[in-house]
Amino acid sequence: MLELFSKRSQIIGLDISSTSVKLLEISRGKLGMQVESYAVEPLPVNSVNEKTIQDPEAVGEAVRRVVKKSGTKANRAAVAVSGSAVITKVITAPAGLRDSELETQVMLAADQHIPYALNEVNIDFQVLGPAADDGKQVDVLLAATKTENIEDRELVLKLAGLKAAIVDVEPYTIEHAMDLIIGNDEERAAKTIAVIDVGATMTSLNVIQDRQLIYTREQPFGGKLLTEEIMRRYGLSYQDAGRAKRVGGLPEDYLPEVLEPFKQSIAQHINRYLQFYYSSSQDVEVDEILLAGGSSSIEGIDGYITDHIGTPSSLVNPFERLECREGIDRERLIQDGPAMMIACGLALRGNE
Ligand SMILES: Nc1ncnc2c1ncn2[C@@H]1O[C@H](COP(=O)(O)OP(=O)(O)OP(=O)(O)O)[C@@H](O)[C@H]1O
Ligand SMILES: [Mg+2]
């Protein structure tokens, strides 16, 4: 049999977000990468709120449905916890320690830097390289999240008959997806790129430079506010308001009186996020804004942000260079692209 693409990775990327569960499976082979399976399943209102799973049963059911819909054979998943659920800290440790010694050092540092009891958190660490001015020390990146953040996700997967193979952190999944988008374009890689994910309940800023995440921040803000305003103003249900946002059909005053102020609000938020970034220790100017998340599908939002912020902005799409397995609706995949950044980063982790 001809095998142009490698065997399936058997690990799917699963973004459990506040409005839906997004599933993506990517294989890596000699001819490049290919989308093997893809499906999105809506979640009941408030079953996930601001990245916290409130109703594991309902979310587990949705995961089961999305797996079925996608047709994947995989039974292991890569999932992510949100950036704000994770505390990271760069510590230094003596170079050349054995693994067990390094772990002891890391736990000591964690005890000092993490504001929770150590038995309530999951800790991971990675040696970054030699510390700046000293050959005898190494920098170590320490990451910790409350155990419940991971357990909630593991429970949901278990309810759907899946195992958690990888638990990543959302901003790092965006770093991963950006690596795919940048490809071999070294000029672009050297640029400072702000990926701004405007979801339904949360908006994050992720600054990438030299393929590395150098800054991240997220806050509650997103398209749900627009949905709620449509519900209030036109007396629509949540579902109908959500549909109207995508397909239109609202009264004439919608554009000037509802959508325009919301676009303004997005621009204000992005401006504020960038100010946070510039006032942090990192002050490399952002060259380019890439808009992600479902709310970036608002028509013309990229041009609007370019005009209002003064930095070239466009929609990001992780699927432009990917092949698709036969039977996948490529048009829909491309249309959903900006909202699939996290799922994409997770799927890539799954096939490394
Ligand atoms: N064409 C469109 N115009 C305006 N808004 C849209 C459009 N398509 C989708 N949206 C909005 O995008 C949001 C969903 O985006 P996305 O899938 O990125 O959110 P999410 O990942 O579920 O949320 P969060 O990241 O906050 O958990 C919803 O508020 C939806 O109404
Ligand atoms: Mg999201």
Q: In DSSP terms, which residues pair with 324 in a beta bridge?
A: 35
Task: Please give the class, per CATH, of domain 184-316.
Answer: alpha beta
Identify which of 15, 16, 19 to mutate to test ligand 1's pocket (most ligand atoms within 8 A of the CB): 19
CA–CA separation, 111 and 195 (whole Å): 33
Alpha carbon of 225 to ligand 2 centroid (Å): 15
How distant is the alpha carbon of residue 52 from its chain centre?
14
Identify which of 245, 247, 334, 344 to mutate to test ligand 1's pocket (most ligand atoms within 8 A of the CB): 245
Give the model's pLDDT for residue 1: 46
Is the distance from CB of 348 to CB of 180 less than 8 angstroms? yes
DSSP code, position 140: E
CA–CA separation, 293 and 229 (whole Å): 19
Rounded to two decimals, what is the model's pTM? 0.93
Helix (H) / strand (E) containing 277: helix 260-279
CA–CA separation, 167 and 147 (whole Å): 12
- The answer to whether domain 85-147 and domain 184-316 are alike in fold is no
Alpha carbon of 16 to ligand 2 centroid (Å): 8
* CA of 18, closest atom in ligand 1: 27
Give the model's pLDDT for residue 59: 98
Among 328, 327, 302, 304, which Cα is nearest to 317's? 302
Fold of 85-147: Dna Ligase; domain 1 (3.30.1490)
Domain boundaries, the chain: 85-147, 184-316
Tens-binned pLDDT, residue by residue, of the chain (352 aa): 444 544 555 899 999 999 999 999 999 877 789 999 999 999 999 999 888 999 999 999 999 999 999 999 999 999 999 999 999 899 999 998 999 999 999 999 999 988 889 899 999 999 988 887 767 899 999 999 999 999 999 999 999 999 999 999 999 999 999 999 999 999 999 999 999 999 999 999 999 999 999 999 999 999 999 999 999 999 999 999 999 999 999 999 999 999 999 999 999 999 999 999 999 876 689 999 999 999 999 999 999 999 999 999 999 999 998 999 999 999 999 999 999 999 999 999 988 8
CA–CA separation, 134 and 1 (whole Å): 54
What is the crossing angle of helices 224-234 and 238-247, to 10°?
A: 110
Residue type, 238: Y
Residue type, 90: V
Q: Spell out the residues 6+ positions from residue 260 whose beta carbon is closer than 8 angstroms to its own.
A: none
CA–CA separation, 313 and 288 (whole Å): 6
How distant is the alpha carbon of residue 107 from its chain centre?
28
CA–CA separation, 167 and 122 (whole Å): 11
For the CA atoms of 126, 16, 216, 112, the dihedral, rounded to the nearest 10 degrees, stands at -50
